[in-house]
């Protein structure tokens, strides 16, 4: 079972919601749709489900054109961000409902419902009604209904957003385990890069209705195709510094000159935009080749065991993600070390031209 | 209450609430409390007095009614009720009224359910205007439509049938039902519909098995309003009928016998006319406020 989207456009009225998306999901793959709100994640899922019909383009399932086929005939299931269950039916009947409609025999229904409920740890709640349950349990019920029917494609539209932090971590782990032994295509939408990394599989980065990049999650993370994809897939966003490479030196923002490092040796002279992840900048030199910049602290956000430091100099601002708690006062001077061997370089159009060599180069 | 420092935020809040209550109690002297209760009692007496008087009259004999002021029935009698329940001209009035009211409720709800679903779920050209136009139907006085209805029904042979009144009452009841139901339906997330279709429900099956139970309180409230408006409407009901489908209210206006007006029977009929309303209100009492807000909370 494979799912292929061919050059999909969706326009509603005069607004374009999705534009020119080409995506091929392999059988048995776990796919994450990553993008901010309004990037088209939900729309794309609704198109895959058949709840919306694309304005242009084709959707193929197993080589069969299903573009205009209604949702009832597609054998998919979907879990929403809101906890959607049938309030009038017990948890058992909620989970059983797709099977009942498919005329599965009742002892078979019973076996599969109990099996699914056990997998999701809600076997003791089967006689209760959805509205009597906690949010996490309600979402488990919804997932049970999605998982019980052996769908070809299972869509998760930010299912964990409305749950608390602890539950989300727990769910995420279970979810990966659940899918490792299934052969359906799973699609999971999220706004958080960290969630995509935790889930693994493949990631499609979406931005304003366009597909920026699709590939194995680590590949997309480590080897962004362009500056947008890199920005979308890091939290806090990747720091971008304009720079010029000439024969023997690198100049950041026309003022900060550094001798040309081994890392950038292969870049032809010209204008570039250099990207460095917030977590790669440090307070102490990590390597010989690190560039040291004197900056001024704007703000230090301490969240639990990590610190987000916002600093600037006369030409640009950076965000630094530091492990551990560090106290800074506003306007304090700070020396930051930028590792050149971990920096990315993009051309003026945003296409990637240099990827750190330890990640395989371009 | 201790004077120690409160330890937790809950404690602070609890103490604040307690002192607040105490202050309010002190600020309101006993005399003012009694004045409030007195005013309330006065209002209730004022509202209920006519209803009590009606009840009082229905249990008095006609001579006592006309005799002088009596605050309660001195010669308690149920003869008026017996009369109503035994004379066909009386009880057929109730049967006729109930007949066309129930018919109208059925027609209105069956038509309004799909219409309200369409308004709440789909966008189509002119949907908002159409929805508003429905409301304007409620604004037109029924008298405006009296003549065309009369003429039309007379021509097609519907005159003096229950069906004629039931249909005529659809004029204001269907828009009302659509309005109330639309509000309740919009409170159900659209994702429920989609989930049902994903699960494999066909539309009719989803509508009957999943959707209608979800808005059952809304349907209850709607039925109450349909009942009420159709039950109290007199102009269309009495004009479009003659003898076969005459409503009770119309029967009541024709009780002048040889011995003058039968006051007692009239009062008993009045009491019996109020009763169905009370029964229906009892069943929807928890949802009625939401109904008045047309389902929007």
B188 in a structural domain: yes
With a pLDDT cut of 70, the percent of chain B lying above it is: 91
Q: Compute the nearest-CA separation of A58 from chain B (Å).
A: 20
User: What residue numbers bound the domain in which B47 lies?
Assistant: 9-58
Q: Is-contact A291 A337, C-beta < 8 A?
A: yes
- Do A294 and A335 contact (CB within 8 A), yes or no? yes
The H or E element that residue B270 is part of is helix B263-284
Model pLDDT for residues A321-357, shown as the tens digit of each residue: 999 888 888 899 999 998 888 889 999 888 888 888 7
Nearest CA in chain A to B201: A101
Tally of domains within chain B: 2
Confidence of residue A145 (pLDDT cuts 50, 70, 90): very high
Residue B81 lies in a domain: no
Give the gap in angstroms from C-alpha A292 to the nearest C-alpha of chain B: 48
Looking at B19, B41, B58, which one is the last position of a domain? B58
What CATH number did the domain enclosing B228 receive? Answer: 1.10.3720.10
What is the pLDDT, as a whole number, of residue A93? 94
Q: Which B-chain residues 213-272 have CB contacts (< 8 A) with chain A? A: 213-214
pTM of the predicted model as reported, rounded to 2 decimal places: 0.79
Q: What are residue B204's phi and psi, to 5 degrees?
A: -60, -40
d(CA A190, CA A177): 18
CA pair distance B224, B276, nearest whole angstrom: 11
Q: What are the pLDDT digits (tens) for A190-205?
A: 999 988 998 889 999 9
Domain co-membership, B238 together with B111: yes
Using an 8 Å CB-CB cutoff, list chain A residues near B210. 86, 88
Give the CATH architecture of domain A3-232.
3-Layer(aba) Sandwich (3.40)
Which of A225, A250, A249, A229 is CA-nearest to residue A238?
A: A229
pLDDT in tens, A211-258: 999 999 999 999 999 898 998 888 888 999 888 888 778 888 777 778
Please measure the distance between the N-terminal and C-terminal CA atoms of chain B and give it in whole angstroms.
40
Q: Is B231 helix (H, G, I), strand (E, B) or coil?
A: helix
Can you tell me the distance from the alpha carbon of A311 to that of B215, in angstroms, rounded to the nearest whole number?
56
- Collect all residues with Cβ–Cβ distance below 8 Å to A316 and sequence separation of at least 6: A239, A241, A242, A252, A253
For residue range B123-182, what is the model confidence (pLDDT) as tens digits? Answer: 888 888 988 888 888 788 888 888 999 999 999 998 989 999 999 999 889 999 998 899
Sketch the domain layout of chain A as residue ranges: 3-232, 239-359
Grouping H, G, I as helix, E, B as strand and the rest as coil, residue B184 is helix
A239-359 CATH fold: OB fold (Dihydrolipoamide Acetyltransferase, E2P) (2.40.50)
**In what order do the strands lie in the sheet containing A3-12?**
A15-25, A3-12, A56-61, A64-65
Q: What share of chain A is helix, strand, coil (3-state, %, to 5)?
A: 30, 35, 35
Instruction: Please indicate, yes or no, whether residues B27 and B136 belong to a single structural domain of this protein.
Output: no
- Measured in angstroms, the CA of A325 and the nearest CA of chain B are apart by 28
Only one residue has tokens 């362009």, namely A226
Q: Determine what percent of chain A is predicted with pLDDT higher than 90.
A: 44
Calpha distance B267→B58 (Å, rounded): 5
Closest CA to A293 of A257, A329, A346: A257
Q: Say if B297 falls within a structural domain.
A: no
**Do B159 and B272 lie in a common domain?**
yes
B209 DSSP assignment:
I
Q: Which residues pair with A87 in a beta bridge?
A: none
3 state SS of A324? coil
B201 in contact with chain A, both atoms CB, cutoff 8 A:
yes
Average pLDDT, consecutive stretches of 10 residues, N- to C-terminus, chain B (297 residues): 58 78 71 87 93 91 82 86 88 91 95 95 89 83 86 91 92 91 91 92 93 89 90 88 85 72 87 88 78 63
At A211 the pLDDT is 93
């Amino acid at each position: 079972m494979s799912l292929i989207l061919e050059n999909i456009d969706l326009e509603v009225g005069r607004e374009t919601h999705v534009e020119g998306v080409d995506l091929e999901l392999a059988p048995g793959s776990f796919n994450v749709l990553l993008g901010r709100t309004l990037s088209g994640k939900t729309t794309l899922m609704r198109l895959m489900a058949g709840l919306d019909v694309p304005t242009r383009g084709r959707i193929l399932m197993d080589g069969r054109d299903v573009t205009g086929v209604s949702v009832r005939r597609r054998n998919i299931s979907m879990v929403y961000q809101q906890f959607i269950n049938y309030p009038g039916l017990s948890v058992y009947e909620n989970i059983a409902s797709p099977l009942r409609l498919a005329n599965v025999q009742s002892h078979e229904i019973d076996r599969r419902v109990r099996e699914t409920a056990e997998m999701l740890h809600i076997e003791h709640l089967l006689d209760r009604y959805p509205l009597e349950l906690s949010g996490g349990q309600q979402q488990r019920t919804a997932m049970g209904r999605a998982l019980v029917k052996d769908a070809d494609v299972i869509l998760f539209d930010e299912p964990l957003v409305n749950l608390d932090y602890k539950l989300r971590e727990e769910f995420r782990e279970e979810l990966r385990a659940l899918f490792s032994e299934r052969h359906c295509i799973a699609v999971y939408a999220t706004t958080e890069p960290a969630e995509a990394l935790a889930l693994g599989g493949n990631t499609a980065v979406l931005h304003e209705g366009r597909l920026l990049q699709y590939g194995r999650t680590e590949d997309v993370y480590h080897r962004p195709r362009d500056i947008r994809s890199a920005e979308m897939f890091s939290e806090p966003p990747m720091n971008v510094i304009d720079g010029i490479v000439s024969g023997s030196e690198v100049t950041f923002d026309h003022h900060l000159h550094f001798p040309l490092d081994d890392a950038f040796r292969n870049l032809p002279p010209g204008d570039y935009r250099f990207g460095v992840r917030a977590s790669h900048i440090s307070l102490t030199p990590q390597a010989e080749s690190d560039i040291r910049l004197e900056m001024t602290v704007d703000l230090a956000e301490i969240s639990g065991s990590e610190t987000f430091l916002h600093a600037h100099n006369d030409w640009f601002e950076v965000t630094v993600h530091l492990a551990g708690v560090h106290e800074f006062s506003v306007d304090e001077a700070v020396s930051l070390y930028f590792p050149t061997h971990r920096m990315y370089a993009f051309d003026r159009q945003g296409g990637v031209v240099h990827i750190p060599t330890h990640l395989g180069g371009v | 209450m201790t004077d120690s420092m409160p330890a937790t935020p809950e404690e602070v809040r609890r103490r604040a609430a307690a002192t607040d209550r105490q202050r309010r109690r002190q600020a309101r002297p006993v005399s003012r409390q009694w004045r409030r209760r007195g005013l309330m009692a006065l209002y209730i007496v004022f509202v209920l007095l006519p209803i009590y008087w009606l009840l009082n009259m229905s249990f008095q004999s006609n001579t006592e009614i006309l005799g002088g002021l009596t605050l309660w029935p001195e010669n308690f009698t149920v003869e008026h009720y017996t009369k109503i329940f035994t004379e066909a001209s009386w009880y057929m009035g109730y049967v006729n009224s109930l007949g066309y009211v129930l018919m109208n409720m059925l027609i209105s709800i069956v038509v309004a359910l799909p219409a309200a679903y369409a308004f709440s779920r789909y966008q189509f050209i002119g949907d908002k205007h159409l929805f508003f136009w429905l409301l304007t139907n409620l604004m037109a006085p029924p008298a405006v439509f009296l003549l065309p209805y009369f003429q039309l029904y007379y021509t097609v042979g519907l005159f003096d049938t229950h069906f004629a009144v039931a249909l005529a009452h659809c004029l204001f009841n269907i828009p009302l039902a659509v309005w109330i139901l639309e509000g309740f339906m919009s409170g159900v997330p659209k994702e429920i519909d989609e989930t049902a279709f994903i699960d494999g429900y066909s539309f009719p099956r989803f509508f009957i098995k999943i959707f209608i139970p979800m808005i059952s309180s809304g349907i209850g409230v709607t039925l109450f309003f349909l009942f009420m408006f159709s039950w109290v409407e007199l102009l269309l009901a009495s004009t479009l009928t003659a003898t076969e489908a005459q409503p009770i209210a119309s029967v009541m206006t024709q009780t002048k016998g040889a011995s003058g007006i039968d006051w007692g029977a009239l009062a008993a009929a009045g009491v019996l006319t109020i009763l169905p309303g009370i029964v229906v209100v009892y069943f929807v009492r928890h949802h009625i406020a939401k109904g008045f807000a047309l389902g929007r909370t």
